[in-house]
Amino acid sequence: MPVKYQPVPEGQSSEEVILAAVVGKSPPDIYSNMWPGDVQLYVNAKALVPLSQFADFDSLMNSRVKEEILEEARSEDGQVYQIPWKTNPVMMIYNKKMLRENGFPNPPRTYAGF
């Protein structure tokens, strides 16, 4: 099957360009530069296909990542819309006292928590 490969057009950020494409109803078929923390926004906009609906998804994922990693990629509806392929460290600098005073006894530990 022929595949057309092209770079993401320039913009302030790749996220801005992809969001504009989603709004304009012309998103790419495959995109591999999305921050995992933004995936739920695109799920809510019904802009992504759940990859976990495909018959070979479980066997592929079980051969690639540990279950805990896959669970972190799972969206609120229980489906998986992203393939975890690398890990980016997330560092959060925060004021413990200020967080506690505002109802957050602990910092978030997952993307969903953010």
What are the boundaries of each domain within the chain? 34-101
Q: Is the pLDDT of residue 106 over 80?
A: yes
Give this prediction's pTM. 0.65
8 A C-beta contact, residue 40 and residue 81: no
8 A C-beta contact, residue 105 and residue 59: no
Distance CA 76, CA 39 (A): 10
Q: Tell me, what's the pLDDT at 90?
A: 64
3-state secondary structure (DSSP) of residue 111:
coil
43-98 confidence digits (pLDDT tens): 998 889 999 999 999 999 989 888 888 888 899 999 999 988 766 666 778 888 99
Q: Tell me, what's the pLDDT at 101?
A: 94
8 A C-beta contact, residue 72 and residue 111: yes
Q: Tell me, what's the pLDDT at 88?
A: 61
Q: Tell me, what's the pLDDT at 86?
A: 67
